[in-house]
Chains A and B, each alone.
Chain A
């Protein structure tokens, strides 16, 4: 199901279903968790019912540090998709390499979009966008 809309949040929301529900439940608790394969030890991304390396379904939801570095980014200056993004223009979409390895597609917030530098250290921001959904975003590390 698409998480229900409450309040004034008009932007797209993730589709939450049993396979990925623990990921979203952890974020709601302000924890970043990804699956670690209990057969081959691969840290799994994206969230999946199966390990992309060994096809095992066995995994633990490992709590991650929320630390990362800025791999690459864009500053979106025109909302050409969903017009709900217009209110955020300009906003940053970034590739963030987590300290533990996986590379997330996410946003960098709470800073001047034009002040970012390659490899800059980042830390997670738990963005509670609705009562049900918290998104993992990042900001410059303090």
Chain B
């Protein structure tokens, strides 16, 4: 039996966010409920219709499905819960899309909430401690950390990728800085971006302090509080709701193996356990499923936890050959108005780190034409990509 063709069979019909901020000092449940209300209102859907729930919990403290249903009165018949931190955005929405198309649920809510230890997390002792759960593995953390050798943050680990990349391909600090500068520029056009009202030039970037060279302060995403809610249903049911549906046209999952996700590197870079070789992007299922190609993508959304993720993700998906992304991201090409705008919301680095769920909200609003002065003209097909191989293409449908 051939695989089911799920292209354009499920849609995003409602998106909602809370205020985004470094410290909001609101509990995870309060934030999750606020985002839920916003998404229900956006979709024109009653709470009682929600019968499926997906979360990756949030980072470090969000709301799990038991707690969520108890507090909100949402009554579900299907749920799927992933590990905390980022990485699960695509997987969560794929799960929702396959749930509604299989009929195991009709209206699935994807909910993710972040609170930080110095924010509302201060009330919860479980956030205390110096180890990330992933770092407890003998093999190091999911991002390659090994805390007893002082590689105890994802950022430090990813700076090893950056060091490797820049040395191998001759990339400069200024080229790296252009990524943070582009996303910060976009945040100036996004009122809910945490860095709205705080423009940054390349000189500002170059003058910022080193944390783990080549990474300066502004090569890192933000840490922050807030919540995102996204509602998915079938294409058929979507037509009865308030706004024009946004179609889930193509997707592919996280790729993982000893040559894959290590330190936010694409394969072939020789960091962590990876072999080093000349990477050539293989055909990607996401394009085949969506029936579009790289050249059809009107704007791109990248899991930009760290600046170099943009380079490794661009190369992983074949937007440019291995070793050329540092050139590709120059001269305004990735800025709004450029050839391939990236992270029109400001990204994790300047809108806020909401694990990419905020990027899916932005893609939805862009395809509806709701983005005001940061609107990508004639946006028809938008793509989400990560360095670890998962991806989703959203379109206006046909």
Residues of A within 8 A of B9 (CB): none
Residues of B within 8 A of A120 (CB): none
Do B140 and A46 have beta carbons less than 8 Å apart?
yes
Do A75 and B213 have beta carbons less than 8 Å apart?
yes
In the complex, what distance in Å separates the CA atom of A105 from the CA atom of B210?
21
Do B163 and A82 have beta carbons less than 8 Å apart?
no
Do B152 and A77 have beta carbons less than 8 Å apart?
no
- The number of inter-chain residue pairs (CB within 8 angstroms) is 94
Q: How near does chain A come to B323, taking the closest CB pair, in angstroms? A: 16
In the complex, what distance in Å separates the CA atom of A105 from the CA atom of B159?
13
Instruction: Give A102-121 interface residues, CB cut-off 8 Å to B.
Output: 103, 105-107, 118
Of B80-88, B270-278, B349-357, B375-383, the stretch lying at the interface with chain A is B270-278
Option from B131, B144, B153 in Cβ contact (under 8 Å) with A105: B144
In the complex, what distance in Å separates the CA atom of A85 from the CA atom of B153?
12
Count the A residues whose beta carbon is within 8 Å of the partner chain — how many? 37
Q: How near does chain B come to A132, taking the closest CB pair, in angstroms? A: 12
Provide the A34-49 mask, 1 if CB < 8 A to any CB of B, else 0: 0000000000011110
Is A141 at the interface (CB under 8 A from chain B)? no
Residues of A within 8 A of B156 (CB): 74, 76, 80-81, 93
In the complex, what distance in Å separates the CA atom of A139 from the CA atom of B156?
21
Residues of A within 8 A of B147 (CB): 12, 81-82
Option from A14, A72, A135 in Cβ contact (under 8 Å) with B160: A72
Q: How near does chain A come to B267, taking the closest CB pair, in angstroms? A: 15
Do B210 and A46 have beta carbons less than 8 Å apart?
no
Known: A15-B138, A74-B212, A95-B160. A80 touches B148 (CB 8 A): no
Is A13 at the interface (CB under 8 A from chain B)? yes
Count the B residues whose beta carbon is within 8 Å of the partner chain — how many? 32
Do A107 and B213 have beta carbons less than 8 Å apart?
no
Do B148 and A11 have beta carbons less than 8 Å apart?
yes
In the complex, what distance in Å separates the CA atom of A48 from the CA atom of B146?
16
Do B148 and A74 have beta carbons less than 8 Å apart?
no
Provide the B345-385 mask, 1 if CB < 8 A to any CB of A, else 0: 00000000000000000000000000000000000000000
Known: A71-B270, A78-B210, A105-B272. A52 touches B258 (CB 8 A): yes
Residues of A within 8 A of B149 (CB): 93, 105-107, 135, 137
Residues of B within 8 A of A74 (CB): 156, 159-160, 163, 212-213
Do A20 and B151 have beta carbons less than 8 Å apart?
no
Do B213 and A91 have beta carbons less than 8 Å apart?
no
Residues of B within 8 A of A72 (CB): 160, 163-164, 167, 270-271
Q: Whose C-beta in chain B lies nearest to the C-beta of A80?
A: B153
In the complex, what distance in Å separates the CA atom of A19 from the CA atom of B147?
19
Is B241 at the interface (CB under 8 A from chain A)? no
Is A126 at the interface (CB under 8 A from chain B)? no
Q: How near does chain A come to B161, taking the closest CB pair, in angstroms? A: 9
Option from B138, B146, B213 in Cβ contact (under 8 Å) with A20: B138
Q: Whose C-beta in chain B lies nearest to the C-beta of A133?
A: B148
Known: A47-B138, A105-B146, A105-B149. A76 touches B212 (CB 8 A): yes
Residues of B within 8 A of A12 (CB): 130-131, 147-148, 152
Do B150 and A78 have beta carbons less than 8 Å apart?
no
Q: Whose C-beta in chain A lies nearest to the C-beta of B159?
A: A74
Residues of A within 8 A of B144 (CB): 105
12 contacts between A and B (CB under 8 A): A14-B138, A14-B148, A46-B140, A72-B271, A80-B155, A81-B153, A93-B150, A93-B151, A95-B272, A105-B272, A107-B150, A133-B148
**Interface positions of A (Cβ within 8 A of B):** 11-15, 19-20, 45-48, 52, 71-78, 80-82, 84-85, 88, 91, 93, 95, 103, 105-107, 118, 133, 135, 137
**Interface positions of B (Cβ within 8 A of A):** 130-131, 136, 138-140, 144, 146-153, 155-156, 159-160, 163-164, 167, 209-213, 258, 270-273
Shortest Cβ-Cβ A-B pairs, 10 listed:
A81-B152, A12-B147, A46-B139, A81-B153, A82-B130, A93-B151, A78-B211, A105-B146, A12-B148, A74-B159
